[in-house]
Structure 1
Amino acid sequence: MNLEEIVARILGIVWSPMLVTLCLVAGLYFSVRTRFIQLRGLPDMLRLMFQGRSSASGVSSFQALSMSLSSRVGVGNIAGVAIAIAYGGPGAIFWMWVVAFLGASSAFVESTLAQIYKERDSAGMYRGGPAYYIEKGLGQRWYAVVFALSTVVGCGLMLPGTQSNAIVSALDEAWAIPGWVSAAAIGMVVALVIFGGVRRIAQVAQVIVPFMALAYLLVAGLVMVLNLDAVPEMLALIMRSAFGQDAAFGAMIGTAIQWGVRRGVMSNEAGQGTGAHPAAAAEVSHPVKQGLVQACSVYIDTMVVCSATAFLILSTGTYNVYDPSAPSQWLVANVPALEAGPAFVQHAVESVLPGFGKSFIALAILPFAFTTILALYYTAETNVVYLGRNRPSWLAMMLFRLGFIGALLYSALNTATVAWSLGDIGVGLMSWLNIVALLLLQKPALAALRDYEASRKAGRDPVYRPEPPQRPTTCVWTSAVPATERR
């Protein structure tokens, strides 16, 4: 059994239908428990996004948003969407929308918990995430260690390869640059940045993320305008395919759901736990403020950027769909055989803007993937810090950084199938562990939401002032539960 077969077998176990169901059901459950905060909270999301300032301990709300978007908005928004269409048909896009809408509530809960249970590391910087709230909230150190180890492996060794592999593929498609040249350049640039720490990551992210997203959306909008007559049929195709009503994709409803949810969770990270790490780094007066901001980032990622890619591909017809009963065969073949990934999008733009499309998408992928790599590094590093009790040794950090760069280079030069399968395994492991933890530890987040809404109703700027703790804790906040919960 070769590496690709081993990885595929593990992937089938991790991403079973049970995990797909868990992601959707958990999102629906948290939507109901929060009274659909992802809808009610939209005005506050937009208002809070640009408020707040950085401090000696934490970054601003906008920097934290940029850091989380750096991770969410990556090649998953380009290559990932293309792969979802190739394996799940156009209907997979609808299920990406569904998991984003429901997952925004999961993102709210995990980010609020990350703020409640955040700590300061040895350098005085805020650190937090699922490992922290699992240990402090549930009192289960072993569970927290398992999550931290899974995140170090997932974000440090598995997921970065999807980004570097897409860069290599896109540059080769556009300009025939040898893979080893692209990989070497990626490794050197990433090394220069990750040795600068979280502040440098935040500073780089807040400049690159808005610019790259805006440029990409402008080009996507231009292509849509030039193909305006195809838009109504494209939207109808997505809806028919999502529910098995299209003649070509009638038997793919289960596959559409699976691939839509899988690619959606990898892209928007709702419930996965990775978005909680930059959320904890923010300096805010109330945990719910960052919960709302991070919920909004899920919308930006999927409803805006992923949708733009889907519309690019579907409106121009530059996609193929694998037959689920015979994965080596095409169910629909609209273009010459292309490997599902950046090439779909490159050919889509190229078909409308000849001589520009392939190069533009290659240039767009560079900052998309680069900032995601940095965000994944920060997430993995935070869990290394957690495992080292906020004081990891110099040797541990050095070995981790070298391992991160090595894994990045390995997947960059491997096949796309292996790179994306490894990434999916990492996402799946973290999602299983984090969603279960959220279901067990939801009360403090819901109590914080009630406290926030009570302050807003009274016309006050919400400030989190919980009662003194009942037991010693190293959390930044004096307690995990607001006074309103302890009446």
Structure 2
Amino acid sequence: MPDFFSFINEILWGSVMIYLLLGAGCWFTWRTGFVQFRYIRQFGKSLKNSISPQPGGLTSFQALCTSLAARIGSGNLAGVALAIAAGGAGAVFWMWVSAIIGMATSFAECSLAQLYKERDSKGQFRGGPAWYMARGLGMRWMGVLFAIFLLIAYGLIFNSVQANSVSRALTFAFDVPPLFSGIALAIASLLVIVGGIKGVARLMQWFVPIMALLWVGCSIVICLWHIGQIPEIIVTIVKSALGWQEAAAGAAGYTLSQAIASGFQRGMFSNEAGMGSTPNAAASAASWPPHPAAQGIVQMIGVLGDTLIICTASAMIILLAGNGTTYIPMEGIQLMQKAMVTLTGEWGAGFVAFIVILFAFSSIVANYIYAENNLVFLKLDNVRVIWLLRIATVSTVVGGTLVSFPLVWQLADIIMACMAITNLTAILLLSPVVHTIASDYLRQRKLGVRPEFDPRRYPDIRQQLAPDSWDETPRE
């Protein structure tokens, strides 16, 4: 069975997904007027505006931290280690490329999610790919298909990936039995997810920045301690990425295609740009200024921070520890722990275990929120079904500690590709709307006024929107 899943992965990620992600990213970069470069100076102002509370939804900062909670998981540690083991140092470069291009894709999907959001029975904004497929494309069947993919991925499989990394990290560092770590993680997650989307958002707005700073700060200290090796590592990353030399001093003959595939695969698993997950958080925000593009810009910050900062922090630790191929028989998170021990001593394994617990916990909680959000779209958000989802979520957390490591990652990659293909198809079909949103935002910025989306200017779009989602925008 693992061989079958490996074969499917090779087909999906060897060609289909690479071209689709690159093509979509380049297309939206052009259609939005190079939005990720044009608005990079606005990131600070966007973050400042994102903390302003507005009626009917989360603050943009809460939505950003919720999406980051899902992004920042074991993929930032174990995934980076796997990418370097499979594709050499060059995979890191292609992770960077996937992030820069993916920022435009993230802008597109998150802006669409904001545009087509609607209120639930409690007045909370809800939305995501399923909604813009149903409202923007008039294809509810496509939204239902995507919602099912997301429920399988975020309600079940991805939580197994997170739990698997935690159990292996704790076993490596402290010989903790996998089942014990799975049960403890499941109980902690359940205590938080019963608070619903608002409770999770309030927790994540302080939890996520703290855990990210812990890991990045540690990496910066290690890099400063080995500052003399940094230039050589950067040169190796670039040369390996472009096929100018074999990675890791020739110990393994990595090909250019291996580096690209590994970098994009693990980069996407980490930053989730184009997968259709982040829009579920983006839609829940009452964006300020009241324009769909404002939330798209805020969510681009998440892609930038996740891959260019946090994943790079992990990559530097792996590469500073020496030849990544030395530890190839080890699995994911344990490779990261071995690298940390090499650089800092025995306490490093325990520190990585602590960090991966924080990362995995935040991901599991946010993953559940995404899954529950799609129950709303499927009109299954009753108490019985919600509790079934909660039980399934914590069960897969426990089960994920017991299954084989390669099988978990292969299943995650396959369902991630299914989600991405469905979502990218939808946002490419809606690219004229993305262009309209970006142009409208840019026009108002050039006029020197606070951007505010007025659906009356776009009657074709207005008739697709949910009642009261944009007609009554908040005023200062």
State the 4+ residue runs in structure 1 displaced beyond 6 angstroms: none
Q: C-alpha distance in 2, partners of 1:392/1:163? A: 25
Matched position secondary structure for 2:49: coil
Are positions 1:119 and 2:118 aligned together? yes
Q: Which residue of 1 aligns with 2:99?
A: 100
What is the identity, as a one-letter code, of the residue corresponding to 2:21?
A: C
Q: Which residue of 2 aligns with 1:311?
A: 316
Q: C-alpha distance in 2, partners of 1:373/1:189? A: 10
- Is the 8 Å Cα contact of residues 32 and 439 (structure 2) preserved in structure 1? no
Q: Aligned to 1:300, which of 288, 305, 312?
A: 305
- Is the 8 Å Cα contact of residues 154 and 425 (structure 1) preserved in structure 2? no
Q: C-alpha distance in 2, partners of 1:382/1:103? A: 23
- Is the 8 Å Cα contact of residues 88 and 260 (structure 1) preserved in structure 2? yes
What is the identity, as a one-letter code, of the residue corresponding to 2:421?
A: W
After superposition, residues 153-302 of structure 1 pair within 5 angstroms as 153-247=152-246, 248=250, 251-284=254-287, 285-302=290-307
Q: Which residue of 2 aligns with 1:50?
A: 48
Q: Aligned to 1:364, which of 355, 358, 362?
A: 355
Q: CA RMSD in A?
A: 1.7
CA-CA distance at 1:85 after TM superposition = 0.6
Q: C-alpha distance in 2, partners of 1:472/1:426? A: 29
- Is the 8 Å Cα contact of residues 119 and 469 (structure 2) preserved in structure 1? no
Q: C-alpha distance in 1, partners of 2:401/2:108? A: 34
Q: C-alpha distance in 2, partners of 1:266/1:17? A: 17
What is the identity, as a one-letter code, of the residue corresponding to 2:262?
A: W
Q: Which residue of 2 aligns with 1:151?
A: 150
Matched position secondary structure for 1:426: helix
Are residues 70 and 472 of structure 1, via their aligned partners in 2, closer, same or farther at CA, if it must alter by over 3 Å?
A: closer
CA-CA distance at 1:129 after TM superposition = 0.5
Are residues 427 and 472 of structure 1, via their aligned partners in 2, closer, same or farther at CA, if it must alter by over 3 Å?
A: closer
CA-CA distance at 1:124 after TM superposition = 1.4
Q: Aligned to 1:443, which of 432, 435, 449?
A: 432
Q: C-alpha distance in 2, partners of 1:174/1:253? A: 34
- Is the 8 Å Cα contact of residues 159 and 426 (structure 1) preserved in structure 2? no
CA-CA distance at 1:473 after TM superposition = 4.8
CA-CA distance at 1:318 after TM superposition = 5.5
Q: Aligned to 1:27, which of 21, 25, 28?
A: 25
**Range with bigger deviation, 463-472 or 87-96:** 463-472
Identity %: 36
Q: C-alpha distance in 1, partners of 2:266/2:403? A: 20
Cα displacement string for residues 409-430 of structure 1 (whole angstroms, at most 9, x for unaligned residues): 2122112111111211121111
Aligned length: 461
- Is the 8 Å Cα contact of residues 126 and 281 (structure 1) preserved in structure 2? yes
- Is the 8 Å Cα contact of residues 173 and 343 (structure 1) preserved in structure 2? yes
Are positions 1:453 and 2:419 aligned together? no
- Is the 8 Å Cα contact of residues 20 and 261 (structure 1) preserved in structure 2? yes
Cα displacement string for residues 250-287 of structure 1 (whole angstroms, at most 9, x for unaligned residues): 55111111111110111001111111111111111111
- Is the 8 Å Cα contact of residues 87 and 254 (structure 2) preserved in structure 1? no
Structure 1 or 2: more helix by fraction: 2
Q: C-alpha distance in 2, partners of 1:157/1:316? A: 34
CA-CA distance at 1:445 after TM superposition = 2.0
After superposition, residues 403-442 of structure 1 pair within 5 angstroms as 403-442=392-431
CA-CA distance at 1:229 after TM superposition = 1.8
Cα displacement string for residues 92-124 of structure 1 (whole angstroms, at most 9, x for unaligned residues): 111111111001000000000000000111221
Cα displacement string for residues 47-80 of structure 1 (whole angstroms, at most 9, x for unaligned residues): 1113243345211111111011111111111110
Q: C-alpha distance in 2, partners of 1:286/1:246? A: 47
Are positions 1:15 and 2:13 aligned together? yes
What is the identity, as a one-letter code, of the residue corresponding to 1:165?
A: N
Cα displacement string for residues 181-201 of structure 1 (whole angstroms, at most 9, x for unaligned residues): 100101111111111100111
Q: C-alpha distance in 2, partners of 1:48/1:292? A: 7
CA-CA distance at 1:10 after TM superposition = 3.7
CA-CA distance at 1:245 after TM superposition = 1.8
Are residues 7 and 160 of structure 1, via their aligned partners in 2, closer, same or farther at CA, if it must alter by over 3 Å?
A: same
Structure 1 segments unaligned to the other structure (5+ residues): 321-333, 480-487
Matched position secondary structure for 2:449: coil
Q: C-alpha distance in 2, partners of 1:50/1:67? A: 17
CA-CA distance at 1:472 after TM superposition = 7.0
**Range with bigger deviation, 420-429 or 294-303:** 420-429
Matched position secondary structure for 2:219: helix
Q: C-alpha distance in 2, partners of 1:11/1:396? A: 32
Q: C-alpha distance in 2, partners of 1:14/1:190? A: 32
